[in-house]
Structure 1
């Protein structure tokens, strides 16, 4: 292997006008890999069954059950303390037996544990309560 250190001829002083494309290709490959990794995250969706038609208009306001959960995890059903899960399930079954199922407004306290809120929602879902909503979100803003 030889190396040309320098020469006085003008033909060796030609300027190379080609761009080195190796760094450009490296950057493009990194961007392509980042795009491939982030596409599944962007297409992840939560499936929600939304009503198709507008509900019929009613003259009277719906019956509302206020279900509060305080910071200690105590559940209140219309300001009455629910001491255990069995009584909560009994209450859900009672409202399902009514001719017009009331709306359940779940209002967890800011300091309530997620475990208690999830237990209430799971019990309602398991028993078939569909008119349930979480209210009081302004306290979390």
Structure 2
């Protein structure tokens, strides 16, 4: 038994062969996929550049000296610093074992306001090993 599709035997088929069309379409699709540029989802960031080895803070493990000059500078072991940096150095010294001594040397002509602020910073940092040095300069003042 032969199956017929409604046409008589021996007549040519009048339908289009779609297989070559599908093949051409697949080839074109693959060519378009290959030629599309790759989409990169990059976020542009300016990252910090390594500046090499950083010097550790100049904290002496034995004793550190804070000098207050008449011009209003605060010196930590001879280097000028501000009160924020002073607090950072004092916090570092309080974590060391044993805790180093802090020698405070205000100049006789230094403003008391600055000396008072430095003392407030040392109190907030909970410095316990602190001493005033250079008091012999004040011996003839009174």
- Please tell me the TM-score bracket, short chain as reference: 0.5 to 0.7
What residue number does 1:67 align with? 66
- Structure 2 unaligned residues grouped into runs of 5+: 1-60
Structure 1: gaps spanning 5 or more residues: 1-61
Q: Root-mean-square deviation (CA), in Å?
A: 1.2
Q: Residues of 2 paired with 1:108 and 1:78: CA distance?
A: 13
After superposition, residues 100-115 of structure 1 pair within 5 angstroms as 100-115=98-113
Alignment partner, residue 138 of structure 2: 140
Aligned to 1:58: none
> Of the two, which has the highest radius of gyration?
2
The answer to whether structure 1 residue 81 and structure 2 residue 68 are counterparts is no
In the aligned structure 1, how far is the partner of 2:62 from the partner of 2:105? 16
The structure 1 segments of at least 4 consecutive aligned residues displaced by more than 3 Å after TM superposition are: none
Deviations 1:31-67 (A, max 9, x none): xxxxxxxxxxxxxxxxxxxxxxxxxxxxxxx811011
Return the TM-score normalized by structure 2: 0.53
Q: TM-score, normalised by structure 1?
A: 0.54
Find the partner of 1:127 among 120, 125, 128. Answer: 125
